[in-house]
Structure 1
Amino acid sequence: MKFKTALSLLLVASLVGVAIQGCNGKVVQFIFGDSLSDVGNNNRLNMSLAQASLPYYGIDFGNGLPNGRFTNGRTVADIIGDSTGLPRPPALLDPSLDEKVILENGVNYASGGGGILNQTGTYFIRLGKQASDKFFQDARYVVALGSNDFINNYLMPVYADSWRYNDRTFIEYLMETLQQQLLVLHKLGARKLMVFGLGPMGCIPLQRVLSTTGKCQERANKLALSFNKAASKLLVDLETQLPDASYKFGDAYDVVDDVIRNPNKYGFDNADSPCCSLGNIRPALTCTPASTLCGDRSKYVFWDEYHPSDRANELIAKELIKKFGFMGADSPSPAPEAASAPSPSDE
């Protein structure tokens, strides 16, 4: 489930022809991302270690069972789509996915652990060229990638990129790679594209617990800021160069940083540790049936060591909606009624 998997899909869809039957001009989304946007792809990748298939993931969504989202409720992409009246696209590996479902809902390619630098995958569908051109040009494309390229690659000394590049040249490498991917998407018909910026990734619980002080790792935060600046400029440049391109960059860094540093201001009680954890065993990495839950999930910024809670995602989504200029968007849909938690304990 890599970024270029989507390009393979669009290439075949645009060039191989069976006419679309019953296409009603509906606008859908194609989402390319990592675990912050995953809705179940990694649960169907047996070799992946990044899965949200165990309780208590999804406890505040629908029936309360794991659904592939790496949080207790909705993702940021869920909330933005709901607010703008777009259907939630199903996971690429959802067994029910077929051409009709794609035409009605789009596709979510996001995969836990994914990044801009990941390798190619393969997937194919077929659409007629004339109808598919309009379908893909009208669709919205969401790119929410980058954090894993730092946290699970560049900032880990076991990877060659950590010594092959310095901070400046690694970001340049990311931008060169992202630019090529966006150019291919544009060539294949993508015109309306939104890119999510990175938040203060040095402040996620995992980064804090791995530091010697328990505080945010400021180098990681500075890398996020540099990435956002470079990605924003890249989109401006591409929009001016490419015909009919409408590219928007959503940067919620400042708001998320303020939430983490002043949680009470936003109604949170905890912004430095996960709601779902194994007590004093840190880092626990994922939420498991053996974990204990915080007493009030709405008071925690983070759900697990990596990912925000549903309520934090809603706050992030509201900020991105402003940055994207969706001023006429409806209020984000409320999270589905929470399932009963099995005797959660206060931390």
Structure 2
Amino acid sequence: MAFNFFLLSFSFALFFIIKFTFSEAQMVPATFVFGDSLVDVGNNNYLTFSINKANFRPYGADFPTKIPTGRFSNGKNAADFIAEQVGLPTSPPYLSFESKKDQASFLTGVSFASGGAGIFAGNDERFRQSIPLIRQVDDFSQVHAELNQQLGSSGVEELLSKSLFHFVIGSNDILGYFGSSNLRKKSSPQDYVASMALELNDQLKRLHGYGARKFVIVGLAAIGCCPTIRKDFEGEECSEEINYWAAKYNDGLKTMLQNFKSELKDINYSYFDTYSISMNICGHQDTGATTDICQPPHCANRSDHLFWDAYHPTEAYARIIADDMFHEGPSKYTFPMNVRDLAAL
């Protein structure tokens, strides 16, 4: 009886300390990141058979440690910057946790993002191994169980209701569709992008069931303007077809989120219009940014470039994206609120 009382008192004290720390030092208690290589901070390093890794030079050339970390960037990515802005360390890769003693780090968030991942499992034939969204949410369920053991049901409910759930995913599904004749035979592009939004909705609802209440949802960029796509077109112009369907997916995504909010009144979200900002940069040469690849030895000044490699932005562009996500009002790139306002709820 005395032992049980001690455990109860300890749990209450731990919860009080954590809650106090949240309110005094951070805008939110934790960030949980789901997505693809745009926000992968090293999960793919632990996938033995993955051919989609960034654990070699020149990746990480401008990271504080000057070494490759698994980020598909010359430095930090948008997930790093969003964490900084809400007063948190970067959420560590889920696959980096080797033992239960490490899992106290779950308290400030975890990243499940995986390079090559999609909303659908196995739809992108370019990559042999990645962690699709459904499995990322499965992995979160394990984190939820561990947090429940540490904090109890009321503690984990408090933690998750105030945390940010950050999603950057879908590009590989679109690129995979247009790169696969089998997928195009199975469904029309209209049906395919509609099913992407439906599947994402299902995973958001699963997370809501675990206690998620604040969602940061990043729409697709103008992925038809990636260097790897542009090189196949005369004059290295963007693929209008890929951009069209990326934009159509975003339209469906925004409608889905509005319906999601109507159905579940206790959730809030911030949608970021990456498509518009990327088209503004790719479509106008007076921005000062170039869409050329910037891996060494191609350029020395990475801050003047949009793309680091064939698919991924430079640290400088990732910072611009994160700053706009955090600060821009609903009138420009964010709807219905920016990340700062979402975090403050």
Q: TM-score range by the shorter chain?
A: 0.7 to 0.9
- The ranges of structure 1 where at least 4 consecutive aligned residues each deviate by more than 4 angstroms after the TM superposition are 18-21, 326-329
Deviation at 1:68, TM superposition (A): 1.1
**For residue 275 of structure 1, what is the amino acid of its counterpart?**
C
Q: Which runs of 5+ in 2 are unaligned?
A: 1-9, 23-28, 122-131, 329-333
**Match of residue 299, structure 1, among 290, 304, 307:** 304
Higher mean C-alpha displacement, 75-84 vs 297-306: 75-84
Query: Do the aligned residues in 1 keep the contact of 2:254 with 2:271 (CA within 8 Å)?
Result: yes
Give distance in 2, aligned partners of 1:51 and 1:219: 28
Provide closer, same or farther for how the CA distance between residues 21 and 101 of structure 1 changes in structure 2, counting only shifts above 3 A. Answer: farther
Secondary structure at the aligned position of 1:180 is classed as helix
Other-structure match for 1:140: 164
Provide closer, same or farther for how the CA distance between residues 162 and 51 of structure 1 changes in structure 2, counting only shifts above 3 A. Answer: same
Instruction: Find out whether 1:314 has 2:316 as its counterpart.
Output: no
Deviation at 1:218, TM superposition (A): 0.7
**For residue 317 of structure 1, what is the amino acid of its counterpart?**
A
Q: Percent identity?
A: 30
Instruction: Find out whether 1:215 has 2:218 as its counterpart.
Output: no
Which digits, 9 at most, give the CA deviation of each residue in 1:295-321, with x for residues without a partner? 211111100000010111112222222
Instruction: Find out whether 1:115 has 2:118 as its counterpart.
Output: yes
Other-structure match for 2:57: 55
Q: TM-score, normalised by structure 2?
A: 0.79
Deviation at 1:293, TM superposition (A): 3.8
**For residue 101 of structure 1, what is the amino acid of its counterpart?**
S
Deviation at 1:251, TM superposition (A): 0.7
Higher mean C-alpha displacement, 72-81 vs 301-310: 72-81
Written as runs of structure 1 = structure 2, the 5 A alignment for 1:75-94 is 75-94=77-96
Other-structure match for 1:274: 293
Deviation at 1:37, TM superposition (A): 0.2
**Match of residue 181, structure 1, among 203, 208, 230:** 203
Other-structure match for 1:285: none
Deviation at 1:261, TM superposition (A): 2.0
Provide closer, same or farther for how the CA distance between residues 74 and 132 of structure 1 changes in structure 2, counting only shifts above 3 A. Answer: same
Query: Do the aligned residues in 2 keep the contact of 1:175 with 1:231 (CA within 8 Å)?
Result: yes
Written as runs of structure 1 = structure 2, the 5 A alignment for 1:248-267 is 248-265=270-287, 267=288
Root mean square deviation of aligned Cα: 2.2
Written as runs of structure 1 = structure 2, the 5 A alignment for 1:27-176 is 27-95=29-97, 98-103=102-107, 105-118=108-121, 120-121=134-135, 123=139, 124-125=142-143, 126=146, 127=148, 128-151=152-175, 153-158=176-181, 160-176=182-198
Deviation at 1:198, TM superposition (A): 0.7
Give distance in 1, aligned partners of 2:260 and 2:267: 8
Number of equivalences: 292
Deviation at 1:327, TM superposition (A): 5.8
Query: Do the aligned residues in 1 keep the contact of 2:230 with 2:239 (CA within 8 Å)?
Result: yes
Give distance in 1, aligned partners of 2:299 and 2:171: 26
Give distance in 2, aligned partners of 1:100 and 1:317: 27
Instruction: Find out whether 1:231 has 2:253 as its counterpart.
Output: yes
Deviation at 1:219, TM superposition (A): 0.7
Structure with the higher helix share, 1 or 2 = 2
Secondary structure at the aligned position of 1:141 is classed as strand
